[in-house]
Amino acid sequence: KSTSAPTAWPIRRAIRRRYQEALAGRAGVAFGPDGPEDNAWLTCLTVVPATTGVDREAVRRHLEGQDIESRPLWKPMHLQPVFRECPARVDGTSEALFVDGLCLPSGSGMTDDEQTRVLAALDEVLLPAP
């Protein structure tokens, strides 16, 4: 069942909040900033390998191995072949987000049990909070 916006926004915000609270204090794991107009359509985090001991792709593969879909953040447009020759203003931010960023499952139809399953899988692959 699909829930349409803006009805889905509070549900998606709650899912993101649950992930944020569960992963709070994990070194090398961060969520993007929330704003008052943020609809939480996606829940994305960054995984810094030097701190977590694993890179984003290892986390993604671990989730995939448990039949949990996640995906990297979008490839920056200036790195896509069709836009290679186009002018771009870059400072390394989009590249870093692409390398370290991961979109977690956060659909408004997710059950509490499904969210718990995602968090348990993340617990298995990420270092615990100090």
- Greater confidence (82 vs 39) lies with 82
Residue 69 has what pLDDT?
97
Neighbouring C-beta atoms of residue 48, cutoff 10 Å: 17
Residue 41: pLDDT over 60: yes
For 80-121, the pLDDT digits (tens) are 999 989 999 999 999 999 999 999 999 999 999 999 999 999
pLDDT bucket at 38, cuts 50 / 70 / 90: confident
Residue 5: pLDDT over 60: no
Residue 4 has what pLDDT?
54
Residue 43: pLDDT over 70: yes
Give the separation between CA 18 and CA 124, rounded to whole angstroms: 17
Contacts of 88-97 with CB under 8 Å at 24 or more apart are 96/46, 97/46, 97/73
Do the Cβ atoms of 70 and 60 come closer than 8 Å? yes
Q: Which DSSP string corresponds to 87-98?
A: -----SHHHHHH
* Strands in the chain per DSSP E: 29-31, 43-47, 71-72, 101-104
Q: What is the pTM of this model?
A: 0.86
Residue 8 has what pLDDT?
82
Residue 129 has what pLDDT?
58
Give the separation between CA 26 and CA 55, rounded to whole angstroms: 14
